[in-house]
Chains A and B, each alone.
Chain A
C-alpha cells in the first residue's frame, strides 16, 4: 500500500476531529450557558453611531433592564433577525442597545433608515475591540442585562419569535413576576 493514498483519509480524520470538537463547543442555545452569564457586563464608553460626539456608556444603562444586541450590516443573520427586533421594540418591555460591530457608519445608518431602527441607542465599534470584551463569537448575539449590570442571559444567533417567548420573556420581570438568575 502506498502512503500517498492514505493522505485523504488522514486529512479527513483531522477535519472530523475538528468537527467533533466544534460540536462539543457549538453554541448550545439551551444547554450550555455562556461563562459570562451571572457575571458583570463589561464597562464601556463608546461613540454613538448616529452622532460621533455623543457617547453610549454602561453608566447610562445602570438601573434598567436592557438587551445588548451585537450586529453589523454585513451580517445576513442580523438582517433575518431585524423584523423580530422591531417586534420586540414595539412591545416596549425592554430597550434594545445595539453594538454596531466591524461596520462602517454610513452603511449602518442607511441600513437602519431602510429596514427600520429597533434600537434605543447604538454604540459604534468599527474595530471590534468592544465585542471582544463581551466574548462575542459572531453576530448576531444578544445579552440580557439586569439593572445591576449583571448578564442574565446570552443568546447566539438570530432571535426567533419562539426564542423570544421561550428564553427571554420568562427572565424579564416586566413580563413576569420573577427575574431569572
Chain B
C-alpha cells in the first residue's frame, strides 16, 4: 500500500510540476494575472507530493519491504537503521528521488525568497524551476520508478554496497546534491531575466545569495566526498580526477566564477551577458554531470548501472533544457547593455581574469572528461585520461589565478590602481616568501620546485586577505558581512593551497610486513604491531590489528586498522585507522594476512592533510557569512513592517 501511495504522489507531483512550469512561464508572457496566481499553490502542492513520495520510500526501507525491488536490491534486514535510511539514495532511482526532493526544497525557498520581488519575475523563476522538476519527474516515472514491486517478494534484500556503509558517504550525496540542485535557482533567475529581456543591478543583488548558498553546499559536499575517498577507498589519496569527482568539480568552478562575476554586475552594472551565461552554464554542467554518471557513458567508482533508455532520455532532456536556455541567451543577451567602461588595473579587470582563468580551468577539466567520449564517438577507441593530464593543465590556469588574487582584492573599482596598498602587498609577498621557503626547506626536507611556490602563494593570499580587515579594525570602521565572508573564504583558499602543497611534497609512506611485536618506522614515528583480534558488527565480521604508535620514545596513540567482511555480499572492505598528531595525519591500513602471524600494512604520515578539508569548510563558512549581509535582505514595505512588529509584540505578551 505504501509504495503505491508513493508512486501515486510522484505522478501527482509530475502533474503539478507541469502546472507550475506552464503558468509560471506563460502567465507573465501573456499577462494573465490568474495564471500567475496559480504558480505558488502549484509549488506548495508539488513539494507536499514529493515529500510524501520520498517519505513512502523511506518507510519501505525502514519496514524492510522486500516486495519493492529497489529496497530488495539496496537493503537487508541485518542492515542498521541508519544505513537503511541512507540506502534510499544508495542507488539510481532513489538518489534521483532525493535530487527531486531537494529541488523542491530549493523551489519552496525560492518562492519565499522572491515573494517580495515583482510578481512576474517571481512567477518566471518558479516556472523555470518547474520545467527542471518536470523533466526529472518524467525521467523518474518513465525510466526509474523506485516503487516497482517484485513478485514473489524477496525473502531478504541483497544489502547496501558495503563501501557505501559509512557515515561520510551517507551524508555526502545529500550535501552534494543540495549544492548541485541549488545552482538551479541561479539558473532560474537567469532564465527569468532572459525571458523578460531585462537585467539590472537589482537582479544581480537578488541572485547573489542563492548562488553563494548553493556554492557553499557544493563546497561541503565535495569536501565530504573527498574525505570519504581518503579513508576508505584511496589508501590515503584525496582526489583522483575520477569522472564523477570532476562532474561535481566543474559546476563548482563555474559557480565560483559566477559569484565573482555577479559582484561586478551588482557593483558596476557590467558583464551582464557574461554573468547570465555563467549562471546558465553552472547548472548545465550539473545536468551534464548527472548525465555522465547515470548514462553509462563513463565508467567510474560512482557509476550507476546503465540500463537502456535512461541515457537517451537524459540526453534528450539535457538538449531541450540547455539548448533552449542557450537559444534564449543568443536571442536576448544582445539587448543587454553594459553601463560603463573601466581601466586595465581596475578591480573589474582582475575579476575578469578570475573568470577567464576559472572558466579555462573548468574547460580543461571538461576536455579531459570528454576526451574518452569524443574518441569513442569518432571511433578512435577509448582514451584514458588521468592525473598526468589533469594535474599540469589544471595548475596552468590555477597558479596565475592564485597569484592575481591578492591584487584583485585590493584593486579599486573603475579607476584602477591599488589605492596606495602596493607597498603593503609587496611586504606581504616578502613575508609570505620567507614563510613559504622556510617551511618548504626548513621544516620539511627534499622539497621540489613547486612546493615553495605553492606555500608562498598560500601564505600571500592569507596575509593579503587580512590587510583590509585589519585596517578597518584599526580605524574602527565596521566590516560588512559580505567583505568578512569574502575574507574568510579567501583565507580558506590560502590554507587549502598551503595544505595541498605540503601534502603533495612531504608525504612519508611505506608498505611493510610485520610479525607480532615487530616495529616499523615512518615519518618520524615508530609503529609496533601487537597482534590481531576478531571484531563483530551487526552485518559484518572482521579482524583488527593493534598498533602502538610512539614518537621519540613517548607514546602517541594506539591504532586499530581493520578489515571487514560483509556477510550478505561477501565483500571485504578496508577501514584504515587515522590519528591526527601535530597537524599530521597518521594513517595505518591493514593489508593481507601473510601467514604465520605476519600481516602487511601501509603506513602513511601526511602533514597538514586534515587542513585540506578544514580549509574547504572555512571557504564554505565564508560563503554563509556573506549570505547574512544586510544588502540581501530585501527591504520589507511599510505595511509589512508594521504587521511584523505587531506579531512580534503579540509574541512577547
Question: What is the interface of chain A, defined by CB distance below 8 A to chain B?
Answer: 1-2, 5-6, 8-9, 12-13, 15-29, 31, 74, 76-77, 79-80, 83-84, 86-87, 102, 110, 113-117, 135-139, 156-158, 160-162
Query: A12-B326, A18-B373 are contacts. A83–B572 as well, Cβ < 8 Å?
Result: yes
Q: B629 contacts the other chain (Cβ, under 8 Å)? A: no
Stretch of B111-119, B310-318, B413-421, B522-530 contacting A (4+ beta carbons < 8 Å) = B310-318
Q: Digitize B351-392: 1 where CB-to-A-CB distance is under 8 Å, 0 elsewhere.
A: 000000000000000000010111011110110101100000
The answer to whether B384 and A6 have CB atoms under 8 Å apart is: no
The answer to whether A161 and B570 have CB atoms under 8 Å apart is: yes
24 residue pairs A–B, Cβ–Cβ below 8 Å? A1-B334, A2-B334, A5-B333, A5-B334, A9-B330, A12-B322, A12-B323, A16-B318, A18-B374, A21-B377, A23-B311, A25-B377, A26-B295, A26-B296, A26-B297, A26-B311, A28-B296, A28-B306, A74-B387, A80-B233, A86-B572, A114-B589, A114-B600, A162-B158
- Which residue of chain A lies nearest to B273 when distances are taken between CB atoms in the complex? A5
**Nearest CB of chain A from residue B572's CB, rounded to whole Å:** 5
A115 to B288, CA, bound (A): 34
The answer to whether B330 and A77 have CB atoms under 8 Å apart is: no
Query: A1-B330, A115-B591 are contacts. A23–B297 as well, Cβ < 8 Å?
Result: yes
Q: B234 contacts the other chain (Cβ, under 8 Å)? A: yes
A35 to B430, CA, bound (A): 62
A76 to B387, CA, bound (A): 12
From B235, B331, B374, B589, A1 is in contact (CB under 8 Å) with B331
A54 to B239, CA, bound (A): 36
The answer to whether B308 and A28 have CB atoms under 8 Å apart is: yes
Range class of the B interface residue count: 35 or more
Query: A113-B592, A114-B592 are contacts. A23–B295 as well, Cβ < 8 Å?
Result: yes
From A12, A18, A87, A135, B571 is in contact (CB under 8 Å) with A87
Q: B628 contacts the other chain (Cβ, under 8 Å)? A: no
A156 to B303, CA, bound (A): 12
- Tell me the chain B residues, 281-326 only, with Cβ under 8 Å from chain A: 281, 284, 288, 291, 295-297, 299-301, 303, 305-306, 308, 311-312, 315, 318-319, 322-323, 326
Query: A8-B277, A8-B326, A16-B323 are contacts. A22–B571 as well, Cβ < 8 Å?
Result: no
The answer to whether B273 and A84 have CB atoms under 8 Å apart is: no
Most buried by A among B288, B330, B372, B513: B330
A139 to B382, CA, bound (A): 10
Most buried by A among B300, B303, B382, B602: B382
- Which residue of chain A lies nearest to B601 when distances are taken between CB atoms in the complex? A114
Contacts of B333 in A (CB 8 A): 5
**Nearest CB of chain A from residue B442's CB, rounded to whole Å:** 31
Query: A1-B331, A29-B306, A77-B301 are contacts. A20–B315 as well, Cβ < 8 Å?
Result: yes
Contacts of B602 in A (CB 8 A): 110, 114
Contacts of A5 in B (CB 8 A): 273, 329-331, 333-334
**Nearest CB of chain B from residue A62's CB, rounded to whole Å:** 28
Contacts of B273 in A (CB 8 A): 5
Q: A8-B281, A8-B326 known; 7 other A-B pairs, CB under 8 Å?
A: A16-B315, A16-B318, A18-B377, A26-B296, A28-B296, A29-B296, A160-B305
- Which residue of chain B lies nearest to A74 when distances are taken between CB atoms in the complex? B386
Contacts of A18 in B (CB 8 A): 370, 373-374, 377
A114 to B601, CA, bound (A): 7
The answer to whether B291 and A19 have CB atoms under 8 Å apart is: yes
Query: A83-B573, A138-B382, A161-B570 are contacts. A9–B296 as well, Cβ < 8 Å?
Result: no
